Amino acid sequence: MKKGRSESTRNSEKATRRRRKYDEEFKQQALAMVRKGQSPRSVAEALGISENLIHRWKRAARALPRTAEDEIERLR
């Protein structure tokens, strides 16, 4: 007998695992937490998301043109 998960357990996990989508407000709140000094790891743990996701959102935000408000916040 093999150790580990049964075939039915693995199949049910695949069927229930879906990519979650996060709205822009959620992303901005997560990034604001990082800007205020929290580590990406602690923010990810607090929100129940992957730390890699935080880093991807940071890279995407840097690629966007800045608004005046963003620039003022960055300079603070």
Residue-wise pLDDT for 35-74, tens only, equals 999 999 999 999 999 999 999 999 998 877 767 777 777 7
Is-contact 64 74, C-beta < 8 A? no
**What is the model's pLDDT at position 42?**
97
Q: Is residue 27 part of a domain?
A: yes
Higher pLDDT among residues 51 and 5, named by residue: 51
**What is the model's pLDDT at position 23?**
92
Q: Is residue 9 part of a domain?
A: no
Place of tokens 């005046």: 68
Q: How many structural domains does the chain have?
A: 1
**What is the model's pLDDT at position 14?**
56
Is-contact 38 47, C-beta < 8 A? no
Higher pLDDT among residues 13 and 73, named by residue: 73
Q: Is residue 5 part of a domain?
A: no
Count other C-beta atoms under 10 Å from residue 57's C-beta. Answer: 20
